[in-house]
Amino acid sequence: MTLSLPPLDQATPWLDDPAHRAWALADARRQLAFFDASLRPDGGFDVLDLAGAPLPRAGQELHTTTRMVHSYVLGRAIGHPGAEDLIDAGMRFLRDHHRDTTHGGYLWAVDETGVTDPLKLAYGHVFVLLAAASALQAGHPEARALMDDVAEVLDQRFWDDAAGLYRDEFTRDWQSFSTYRGMNANMHSVEAMLAAFEVTGEASWLDKAGRVLDFFTARMAPAHDWRLPEHYTEDWQVDPDYAGNPMFRPAGTTPGHSLELGRLLLQHWDLAGRPAGDAPDRARRMIERALADAWLPDGGLAYTLRPGGAVDIADRYWWPVTEGIGAMASLIKLGEGRAGDEAWYRRLWAFADSHHIDHARGGWFPELDAAGRPVARQFDGKPDIYHALQADLFPLVPGLSRQVAQAGTLAG
How does strand 165-166 pair with strand 169-170? unpaired
Please report the pLDDT score of residue 411 as a whole number: 58
Please report the pLDDT score of residue 402 as a whole number: 64
Q: Which of 140, 257, 268, 355 is catalytic?
A: 257
Residue 25 lies in a domain: no
> What residues form DSSP beta bridges with 109?
61, 117
Residue 13 lies in a domain: no
Q: Which tens digit of pLDDT belongs to each residue from 324-379?
A: 999 999 999 999 888 899 999 999 999 999 999 999 999 999 999 888 999 998 89
Please report the pLDDT score of residue 246 as a whole number: 79
Please report the pLDDT score of residue 6 as a whole number: 47
20 is catalytic: no
Distance CA 8, CA 15 (A): 13
Contact call for residues 14 and 20 (beta carbons, < 8 A): yes
Please report the pLDDT score of residue 5 as a whole number: 52
CA-based end-to-end distance of the chain: 20
Return the amino acid letter for 366: P
Residue 403 lies in a domain: no
Residue 321 lies in a domain: no
Return the amino acid letter for 104: G
Residue 62 lies in a domain: yes
Please report the pLDDT score of residue 53 as a whole number: 97
Q: Which of 80, 140, 356, 387 is catalytic?
A: 387
CA distances from 296 to 317, 348, 382 (A): 12, 12, 23
387 is catalytic: yes
**Structural domain count, the chain:** 1
Ranges of the chain whose pLDDT falls below 70 = 1-9, 402-412
Q: Which one, of 209, 193, 189, 214, lies nearest residue 282 by Cα?
A: 214
CA 60 from chain centre, in angstroms, equals 18
Long-range contacts, 331-337 (Cβ 8 Å, 24+): 331/266, 331/283, 331/284, 331/287, 332/13, 332/15, 333/15, 333/399, 333/400, 334/266, 334/280
Please report the pLDDT score of residue 3 as a whole number: 46
Distance CA 322, CA 400 (A): 16
Please report the pLDDT score of residue 307 as a whole number: 84
Contact call for residues 353 and 3 (beta carbons, < 8 A): yes
Residue 59 lies in a domain: yes
Please report the pLDDT score of residue 284 as a whole number: 98
| Domain ranges, residue 48 | 42-160
Residue 95 lies in a domain: yes
Residue 105 lies in a domain: yes
Distance CA 193, CA 207 (A): 9
Please report the pLDDT score of residue 290 as a whole number: 98
